[in-house]
Chain A
Amino acid sequence: MCVAFHNKLGEFWPFPPDRAGVTESDERGTFRHLEIAPKNEPDLWRSTIFFLRSWLISFDFPMMSSKEARSLKMLHLTTGRVGCLLSKQVVVALTSSGARMSSHGHHEVSDSVDMSQPMYWDRLDTPLPDRPWKDVLDSTDKSLKQKEKGPWTALSKEEKIALYRLKFNHTYPEMKRPSHEWKTVIGGMFIFFGITGLVVFWQGHYVYPPQPHTFGEEWQAKQVQRMLDMQINPIEGFSAQWDYKNKQWK
């Protein structure tokens, strides 16, 4: 699939025509019509689209070599333009995608996973993944798989275990194995408690306004006396704890 093509002006898209000061109708929706956009740099919007499409193409497509070559050749033509930083980035994107296209058949450990292929997973809640753990079998594995087609009582214990290991990566106990992650979690929690404590302390010193006068010792004492005079909660609560005869707390 080729992503650089001729627009109706005969120029390679997404790079704008050389003519300065002329904005064509098919550039509607680009930055080109704005005075602030420099006229001989690639259009940002179309470059983003180009970038995005080349990234999407970088997923694993077999049999791409002839098309790769064609698109790379087109890029070589476009890099002849003056001072185009973005075009170089696009070249890098397509060449690196070319490298990825050639590594077909490995279990991906890099960032891009081909979601159009059946996946393997180790999950407690979904026990049977879409594909077995080992797809590429050597001759001993293949002969074992042949033996599996017969009666399973003929299989030895080691063979059954080997078949399990062909199909699955981890067993359930291995999936459930405990880790040291809890230490990281608790440690991180305490660190953030500490940071929060510092923030709260700073806040109490620099942010809070002065306390209301009703918080003072004298006012609080007068408040308690008034509550006792009113007999607040005299049965089971506040005033129930006060000995009115001896004028003290019980």
Chain B
Amino acid sequence: MSLAKPAMRGLLGKRLRFHLPIAFALSLVAAAAFKYGVTEPRKQAYADFYKQYDTTKEFNNMREAGVFESVRPTGK
């Protein structure tokens, strides 16, 4: 019945040395994934949309549909 003496000291340090680098690495990966998976595509989508956007044409479409109160649809 001679077991090895268990570790009595440095338990927190050992845990931190193991877990902190992993935590930092995973956080950086999460941030990078969000940036390149979500924000960059979103910025690109907005840029593309407004490149092709004709303001006047869309305004007139909305006016004809009757969603404005300041201008009524043309006609009548």
Contact = CB atoms under 8 A, between A and B. Distances in A.
B49 A229 contact: no
Contacts of A157: 1
Interface string A215-243: 00000000000100111001110000000
Contact of B67 (A160, A226, A234, A236): A226
A231 B42 CA distance: 18
Contacts, number: 20
Interface string B36-50: 000000100110010
Most chain B CB inside 10 Å of its own CB: which residue of A157, A229, A230, A231 = A229
Given A234-B49, A235-B49, A229 B42 contact: no
Interface in B32-67: 42, 45-46, 49, 58, 61-62, 65-67
A229 B46 contact: no
Interface in A125-174: 157, 160
B58 A231 contact: yes
Interface residues on B, range: 10 to 19
B70 to A, nearest CB: 14
A206 B67 CA distance: 39
B46 to A, nearest CB: 6
Chain A interface helix/strand/loop/mixed: loop
A235 B62 contact: no
Contacts of B65: 226, 229-230
Contacts of A235: 45-46, 49
A160 B61 CA distance: 91
Interface in B3-51: 42, 45-46, 49
A236 B45 CA distance: 8
A226 B69 CA distance: 13
Interface of A: 157, 160, 226, 229-231, 234-236
